[in-house]
Amino acid sequence: MRAVYGLEPQIEHYGCMVDVLGRAGLLEEVVLLVQSMANDNAVLWGSLLGACFIHGNAKLGESVVDHLVELRPDDGGVYVLLSNIYAARGRWDDARKTRMLMK
């Protein structure tokens, strides 16, 4: 966009890329994209967590949750989604422990 059209990417452009790459399962590319942004954006990190759920990537989901907790410490939805990732992978003890963290 910069080189061809002289446009600076806006948050909406990043959001589209996170969504497309996440749906395609290119989670590491999403991490690099979100980390390259000047400002942390909890919505983009949340989209990445959703992609981790879709693709069953609990390990990356855990690190994304750690980052999201720093950005939004009172957002219980982050813990719910991580718990659901664990449950989908059959990791019932981890799912239960994550739910207990919410309390």
Give me the number of domains the chain comprises.
Answer: 1
pTM above 0.85, yes or no: no
Instruction: Identify the DSSP state of 38.
Output: S
pLDDT tens, residue by residue, 29-51 = 999 999 988 788 889 999 999 99
Give the domain extent around 70.
2-102
Q: For position 84, which CATH number holds?
A: 1.25.40.10
Using CA atoms, how far apart are residues 55 and 58, in angstroms rounded to an integer? 9
Using CA atoms, how far apart are residues 79 and 102, in angstroms rounded to an integer? 7
Instruction: Identify the DSSP state of 75.
Output: -
Give the model's pLDDT for residue 25: 95
The DSSP line for 69-103 is HHH-TT-HHHHHHHHHHHHHTT-HHHHHHHHHHH-
Percent of the chain's residues with pLDDT above 70: 100
